[in-house]
Amino acid sequence: MTEIVFKSNNGFEWVSLINPTIRELAQVAVQYDLHSASVHDCLEPEHLPKYEVIDGVAFMVLRAYDINALKDADTVQKLTNKIAFFISKNFLVTIHRKDHEYLRVIRNKWRVANKNEENLALMITTDLYQVALNTYESPIKNAIELLDKYEEAIFDNNEPASIIQRLYLLKRKASIYKKMLFSFNELLKKQIASNEVLADYLNDVVETGEKLQYYSDDLYEEANNLLNIHLSLASHRTNEVMKVLTILTVFFLPLTFIVGIYGMNFKYMPETDSAWGYSGVWIVMLVMSVGIYFWFRSKGWLNG
pLDDT of residue 266: 67
Which residue intervals of the chain are DSSP H helices? 22-32, 36-42, 76-79, 101-112, 120-134, 137-155, 163-194, 198-261, 277-299
Residue 267 CA to residue 28 CA, distance in Å, equals 106
CA atoms lying within 13 Å on the CB side of residue 6: 17
* Distance separating the N- and C-terminal Cα atoms of the chain: 69
What is the pTM (predicted TM-score) of this model?
A: 0.71
Query: Which of 287, 279, 285, 290 is CA-nearest to residue 254?
Result: 285
Determine the CATH number of domain 238-299: 1.20.58.340
Q: What is the pLDDT of residues 126-174, one digit of tens each?
A: 888 888 888 888 888 988 888 888 877 777 766 666 777 888 888 888 8
pLDDT of residue 125: 83
Determine the CATH number of domain 1-115: 3.30.460.20
Residue 140 CA to residue 288 CA, distance in Å, equals 61
Residue 270 CA to residue 268 CA, distance in Å, equals 6
Residue 96 CA to residue 109 CA, distance in Å, equals 18
Domain coordinates in residue numbering, the chain: 1-115, 238-299
Residue 78 CA to residue 91 CA, distance in Å, equals 31
Q: Which residues of the chain have pLDDT under 70?
A: 5, 113-118, 157-161, 197, 236, 266-268, 271-273, 301-304
Strands of the sheet with 2-7, listed across from one edge: 2-7, 13-18, 91-96, 80-87, 57-65, 50-54
pLDDT of residue 6: 75
pLDDT of residue 160: 62
pLDDT of residue 116: 63
Query: Which of 226, 232, 234, 192 is CA-nearest to residue 209?
Result: 192
pLDDT of residue 236: 65
In the beta sheet, which residues pair with residue 83? 62, 96
Instruction: Give the mean pLDDT of the chain.
Output: 79
Residue 38 CA to residue 61 CA, distance in Å, equals 10
Q: Give, in order, the Cα–Cα distances in Å from 280 to each of 16, 48, 226, 285.
A: 97, 81, 55, 9
